[in-house]
Amino acid sequence: MNTAIGLSDILLISPMIALFLASIIPITAKVLRGNREQHPVITLSQGLIGIVVAIGLLVVFGGAGKTAFNGGLIFDGVTQWMGVIALGAAGAAMIMMYENPSTTGKQFSELVFLALSSAIGMLILVSAVDLLMVFIGLELMSLALYLMIAMSHEEKLSKEAALKYFVLGSFASAVFLYGVAFIFGSTGGTNILGFMENAAELVQTSRLFLFGITFVILGFCFKVSIAPFHAWTPDVYQGAPTPHSAFMATAVKTVSFAAFLRVIATKSLTGSDHLFDILQWLAVITMIVGNTAAIIQNNFKRMIAYSSVAHSGYLLIGIITAGVSDNGAFGASGVIFYLLSYALMTLGAFAIASMLERSENHIVNIDDLAGFAKQRPMLALCLTVFLLSLAGIPPTLGFFGKFYLFNAAVGEGLLWLAVWGMVSSVIGVYYYLRPIVVMYMKEGNAEVAGHSLNATTVTAVVMALAIVAMGFVSGPIFAAVEKSLF
């Protein structure tokens, strides 16, 4: 086995190196200054520069299916797109952290360090084609997150959220690792490309392999909150500081889906009908659970959390489509495009929630939005765009996300899943309309915390504009995604 590491390997992982360097700058500076926090703006810009550089390096050096570290990592279209989406989301979440009352404290340098470390794990996760690499990425990403949620927050809820996420996350990791062991036992390797080559045959002949792949999938189901493995999601999203919820709901979900996609859909798994039957039912259950549970929520973050469960259900349709197809690129690009739109609108919704939090322990209920449209018409309009997009109303990006996803499903003969996805998105409309109703049609005096929320405001406005503008050029974007996957 050739273990030499060449220049190309280094270039390919240069985004991770850049992130690593950027991550240690703030805490080093803090140590050198005698444990005094530097100005948060400086810390934030260091982090953001790291992310921008990493995105640039990923775009320049990645692509075209280059592999690094003996085939352990692959840099193809999926890596690039998902990596860029996740890093972008991480950047936006960091901007929110900079201004949210529960995270602007003494430990902002540590927070940026952890967020960037988590982002390194994400990049590993999106590029890993070896199950052990996937595990490393998953753990690096999650460990930083456990700390982030628990840190810099006085409230009991967030400790509870961190503990819940830690216990269940570790459990999911264990299940995942268990599955990897089975796969190793039955195929003698852990490289996804290696065993997926004849996976369709293996699932029928080797029970051991079937167990293994099932456990691996279950591990992912936990991570991306597919029902009935979603129970942690609302509690953790609600309990965590809002920027962290935004981080988890978008960046973490994107990369977890990327890895999920890679395992299931890199090569067709069409031999395993039962596996796909089960996944189809899981998708249906997830859409039902997410959408119906969201209806009865009064807490804004909890509602978005349940809605993100429902969106996992839609995304699972895309994963299944990519998995049953011989040419998975269509389904896979549907997933990527959907994640792109999902990241924008969810981040936007959380950004607004973040602005509404007046103090560290403030809980934003939907009723608190009463009168928001009169006080801050611009932000209310942005939130309206996010919610309409989440609901899938044209001509927003969210509509096209659903359109491409369900289009792929219909193309692969999964008509009933598409129909079900559409029907359940109507249920979604009901709860997405509620905040709009409250904002515009109820009297009240919703207030936005302080006056120092400029960066978050800009982020929200930019995202709302992007959602509207990208809706009109969704065709070329989708074509670009699909082209990069061949």
Partner 1 sequence: MILSSIVFLPLLFALIVAVWPKSNTIRHLALGLSVIEFLVSLVLLQRFNPSSAGLQMVEKFMWIERFGIQYFMGIDGISLWLVLLTTFLTPIIILASWTAITERVKGFHVALFILQTAMLGTFLAMDAIFFYVFWELSLVPMYFMVGIWGGARRLYATVKFFIYTMAGSVLMLVAIIYMMYLTQEATGHMSASLLDFYQLKIPFVGGTFFSLQTLLFFAFALAFSVKVPVFPLHTWLPDAHVEAPTPGSVILAGVMLKMGTYGFMRWVLPLFPEASEYWAWLFMLIGVVGIIYGALVAMVQPDVKKLVAYSSVSHMGYILLGLFAFNAYGMSGGLYQMLNHGISTGALFILIGMIYERTHSREIAKYGGLASVLPLFTIFFFIVTLSSIAVPLTNGFVGEFFILLGTYQAQPVFAYFAVTGVVLGAVYMLWMFKRVFFGEKGELVKDEHHPLHDLNAREIAVLVPMVIMVFWMGLFPNHFLNYSKASIDYLVNNRSNYNLTIVQPGDASTQQAQGGN
- Rounded (5°) CA angle 116-119-123: 140
**Which residue number, 291 or 354, has a Cβ lying nearer to partner 1?**
291
| Residue 411 binds partner 1, judged by CB under 8 A | yes
| Residue 367 binds partner 1, judged by CB under 8 A | no
Among the listed residues 146, 215, 232, 399, the single contact to partner 1 using CB under 8 A: 399
Q: Whole-number minimum distance, CB 427 to partner 1, in Å?
A: 9
Binding mask 170-209 for partner 1 (x = CB under 8 A): ----------------------------------------
Q: Whole-number minimum distance, CB 270 to partner 1, in Å?
A: 19
| Residue 410 binds partner 1, judged by CB under 8 A | yes
Among the listed residues 7, 39, 441, 454, the single contact to partner 1 using CB under 8 A: 441
Q: How far apart are CA 62 and CA 73, in angstroms?
A: 11
Runs of H (alpha helix) within 100-206? 108-127, 131-150, 156-187, 192-196, 199-205
Cis-peptide, bond into residue 476, ω within 30° of zero: no
Give the distance, in angstroms, between the CA of residue 348 and the centroid of all CA atoms in the same chain: 14
The amino acid sitting at 149 is I
Which DSSP category does 251 fall into? I
Q: How many CB atoms lie within 10 A of CB 181?
A: 16
Q: How far apart are CA 320 and CA 316, in angstroms?
A: 6
The residue with tokens 């939005």 is 369
Number of residues that this document lists for the chain = 486
Question: Which burial class, exposed, middle or buried, applies to 35 when counting CB atoms under 10 A from its CB (0-12, 13-18, 19+)?
Answer: exposed
Stretch touching partner 1 by CB under 8 A, among 47-55, 136-144, 341-349, 469-477: 469-477
Which DSSP category does 446 fall into? -
| Residue 43 binds partner 1, judged by CB under 8 A | no
**Which residue number, 56 or 411, has a Cβ lying nearer to partner 1?**
411
The amino acid sitting at 350 is F
| Residue 307 binds partner 1, judged by CB under 8 A | no
Q: Whole-number minimum distance, CB 330 to partner 1, in Å?
A: 9
Question: 67 near 6, Cβ under 8 Å?
Answer: no
Q: Whole-number minimum distance, CB 484 to partner 1, in Å?
A: 13
Stretch touching partner 1 by CB under 8 A, among 52-60, 229-237, 262-270, 475-483: 475-483
| Residue 237 binds partner 1, judged by CB under 8 A | no
Structure tokens given for 124: 């590993």
Among the listed residues 27, 181, 363, 429, the single contact to partner 1 using CB under 8 A: 429
| Residue 479 binds partner 1, judged by CB under 8 A | yes
| Residue 444 binds partner 1, judged by CB under 8 A | no
Question: Which burial class, exposed, middle or buried, applies to 6 when counting CB atoms under 10 A from its CB (0-12, 13-18, 19+)?
Answer: exposed
What is the SS3 assignment for 263-287? HHHCCCCCCCHHHHHHHHHHHHHHH
The residue with tokens 């469960």 is 309
Which DSSP category does 191 fall into? B
| Residue 461 binds partner 1, judged by CB under 8 A | no
The residue with tokens 């084609």 is 129
Among the listed residues 41, 174, 278, 419, the single contact to partner 1 using CB under 8 A: 419
| Residues whose CB is less than 8 angstroms from the CB of residue 248 and which lie 6 or more positions away in sequence, other chains included | 145, 236, 237, 240
| Residue 296 binds partner 1, judged by CB under 8 A | no
Q: Whole-number minimum distance, CB 158 to partner 1, in Å?
A: 34
Q: Whole-number minimum distance, CB 402 to partner 1, in Å?
A: 9
| Residues whose CB is less than 8 angstroms from the CB of residue 188 and which lie 6 or more positions away in sequence, other chains included | none
Question: 318 near 408, Cβ under 8 Å?
Answer: yes
Stretch touching partner 1 by CB under 8 A, among 207-215, 217-225, 241-249, 413-421: 413-421
Among the listed residues 31, 41, 278, 423, the single contact to partner 1 using CB under 8 A: 423
Q: Whole-number minimum distance, CB 381 to partner 1, in Å?
A: 10
| Residues whose CB is less than 8 angstroms from the CB of residue 35 and which lie 6 or more positions away in sequence, other chains included | none
Residues 253-263, buried b or exposed e (16+ Cβ, 10 A)? bbbbbbbbbbb
Q: Whole-number minimum distance, CB 421 to partner 1, in Å?
A: 9
**Which residue number, 31 or 295, has a Cβ lying nearer to partner 1?**
295
Among the listed residues 20, 155, 407, 449, the single contact to partner 1 using CB under 8 A: 407
Q: Whole-number minimum distance, CB 126 to partner 1, in Å?
A: 24
Give the distance, in angstroms, between the CA of residue 108 and the centroid of all CA atoms in the same chain: 23
Among the listed residues 393, 448, 461, 462, the single contact to partner 1 using CB under 8 A: 393
| Residue 292 binds partner 1, judged by CB under 8 A | no
82-101 positions binding partner 1, by CB under 8 A? none
Residues near partner 1 (CB under 8 A): 388, 393-395, 399, 403, 406-407, 410-411, 415, 418-419, 422-423, 425-426, 429-430, 433, 437, 440-441, 474-476, 478-479, 482
